[in-house]
Structure 1
Amino acid sequence: MSEPISIDIWSDIACPWCYIGKRNLEKGLAATAGDDDAPQVRITFHSFELSPDTPVDFDGDEIDFLAGHKGMPREQVEQMLGQVTSVAAAAGLEYRFDLLQHTNTVKAHELLHFAKAKGLQHEMEERLMSAYFTEGRHVGRVDDLVALAEEVGLDAAEARSALESSAYLDAVRADQAQARAYGINGVPFFVIDGQYGVSGAQPPEAFENVIRDVWAQKSAAS
């Protein structure tokens, strides 16, 4: 029996392409689930901050942020967000940039590491991304994060203590240091079994193919 394929994903919960990439990976994995020798995988999410200088309470909407942060004309930003919304819809996600509350994501990353320690990282990742992109929830303040943690079954008091003490900040920084060591400067970025790098929100078929290939190699080797 081959060891599961490790899939390490560097992402930011405020990255629209990361949520799309997550969905496409899930669809690719679902397509392989019916194989006679279905690939086994172990997925781990890693922290990457796209805009670490963002304030927790940003005054303005997503268009204001991108126009100011990227120096892009508002019309161009609106067109870009429209395109991303269409791609997200094709992946089964209803993005609501009109509701989105732009914020600093470092505490959300700390919460993901806390959730990982409790065996609920995948559930927490999904909940944070859904809250941010489709529900207009705030994901930068401790109170809001604790409420979301509770929704996936984490202990509220433990989550609050972890966030207020920055207990997992070192783990976030370690992920970011590993990203720099790998030369990752954009997300999502997928490291498949420690040897293949896949950049960007690839279509489901791309994930399906690489996972089948890697699994075949592992099976042959074992």
Structure 2
Amino acid sequence: MTALFSPRTPGHLRVDIWSDIACPWCYIGKRRLESALAQFEHRDRVEVVWRSFELDPAAPPALDQTMGEVLAKKYGRSPAQVQAMMDQVTAVAAAEGLSYHFDRARLGSTFLAHQLIHHAALHGQQGDMKERLLRAYFSEGARMGDLETLTALAEEVGLDSAAARTALSEGRHADAVRQDEAQAQALGISGVPFFVLGGKYGVSGAQDPQVLLGALQQAWAEVQPPALVTLGDADHAGACEDGVCAVPEPAAR
């Protein structure tokens, strides 16, 4: 059986985040976490790990429908209502410094893009790759199921394009994506973004930075080793060190 989380590293806090590239709230959540980390005094000892989650695992590599058409069908709303929904999310994103263009979004599977994030993680570029994919999808209208597009984006963040192409073509990280998704199911995660701090605390949704900051502080306090307070004589009487035990001399009679 595979453990959901690796052993904790003393003095560090790991934040696992399940999210999808095609999720507008996931990009907003990423920015809000970054805002929280900027206020967190131990931010240099926080490790962020991006986990895969597909909102539509059955999606084909490409869809010809627009975002508005898909949302209208999914929620049974009129085109005007759907546009109002997208405008609202666009405004929330803008408040976080993000530029959303739903009219450019090219829908389809994100499975290949998640594999690219795992590939980037092997080269210490996971965070950069995640950011580039999100911007490409929401701001530039890039297709996340297109091998050529993903290879070019990988090269932009400093990855070897030939190695990235081979990894994606051969599906080398497909199992890693499926394992992330299996872990999400085991944890009962049904919506994203979902943050797990220190392998213990879960935060659902793109919460306000202050909420995330509070979660970081609480998780940090619990993953730290207990402080050691020494009581007694400095010569450690009655203690064993390196196989030698100090035995007090009997009192004179």
Q: What are the superposed Cα offsets for residues 137-193 of structure 1, whole Å, 9 maximum, x if unpaired?
A: 222100100000000011111111111111110000000000000000000000010
Q: Give the structure 2 partner of residue 42 of structure 1.
A: 47
Larger radius of gyration: 2
Q: Aligned to 1:166, what secondary structure does the other structure show?
A: coil
Which of 143, 148, 156 is residue 138 of structure 1 equivalent to?
143
Q: Give the structure 1 partner of residue 125 of structure 2.
A: 120
In the TM superposition, structure 1's runs of 4+ consecutive aligned residues that sit over 6 Å from their partners are none
Question: How far does residue 79 in structure 1 lie from its aligned partner after superposition?
Answer: 1.3
Which of 169, 172, 184 is residue 189 of structure 2 equivalent to?
184
1:5 and 1:39 in contact (8 A); partners too: no
Q: Give the structure 1 partner of residue 230 of structure 2.
A: none
Question: How far does residue 43 in structure 1 lie from its aligned partner after superposition?
Answer: 0.6
Q: What are the superposed Cα offsets for residues 66-110 of structure 1, whole Å, 9 maximum, x if unpaired?
A: 223444332222111111111111111111111111121000001
Work out the CA distance in 1 between the residues paired with 2:137 and 2:61.
Answer: 13
- Identity between Structure 1 and Structure 2 (%): 49
Whether 1:78 and 2:99 are equivalent positions in the alignment is: no
Structural RMSD (CA): 1.6
The two structures have a TM-score, normalised by structure 1, of 0.93
CA, structure 1 residues 27+5, in 2 after alignment: closer, same or farther (shift >3 Å)? Answer: same
Segments of 5+ residues of structure 2 without an aligned counterpart are 1-8, 228-253
State the aligned residue count. Answer: 219
Q: Give the structure 2 partner of residue 153 of structure 1.
A: 158
Q: Which has the higher helix share?
A: 1
- Shifted more, 78-87 versus 49-58: the winner is 49-58
Q: Give the structure 1 partner of residue 67 of structure 2.
A: 62
Q: Give the structure 2 partner of residue 170 of structure 1.
A: 175
Q: Aligned to 2:37, what secondary structure does the other structure show?
A: helix
Q: Aligned to 1:119, what secondary structure does the other structure show?
A: coil
Q: Give the structure 2 partner of residue 201 of structure 1.
A: 206
1:39 and 1:215 in contact (8 A); partners too: no
Q: Aligned to 2:178, what secondary structure does the other structure show?
A: helix
Q: Aligned to 2:49, what secondary structure does the other structure show?
A: strand
CA, structure 1 residues 123+38, in 2 after alignment: closer, same or farther (shift >3 Å)? Answer: closer
Work out the CA distance in 2 between the residues paired with 1:3 and 1:180.
Answer: 29
Q: Aligned to 1:194, what secondary structure does the other structure show?
A: coil
Question: How far does residue 61 in structure 1 lie from its aligned partner after superposition?
Answer: 1.3
Which of 90, 95, 104 is residue 99 of structure 1 equivalent to?
104
Question: How far does residue 220 in structure 1 lie from its aligned partner after superposition?
Answer: 6.4
Whether 1:28 and 2:33 are equivalent positions in the alignment is: no
- Shifted more, 74-83 versus 42-51: the winner is 74-83
Question: How far does residue 22 in structure 1 lie from its aligned partner after superposition?
Answer: 0.4
Work out the CA distance in 2 between the residues paired with 1:71 and 1:107.
Answer: 30
Work out the CA distance in 1 between the residues paired with 2:43 and 2:127.
Answer: 21
Q: Aligned to 1:174, what secondary structure does the other structure show?
A: helix
Matched to 1:149, the amino acid is A
2:59 and 2:108 in contact (8 A); partners too: yes
Q: What are the superposed Cα offsets for residues 181-217 of structure 1, whole Å, 9 maximum, x if unpaired?
A: 0000000000010110000000111111111222233
Work out the CA distance in 2 between the residues paired with 1:10 and 1:2.
Answer: 23
Matched to 1:160, the amino acid is R
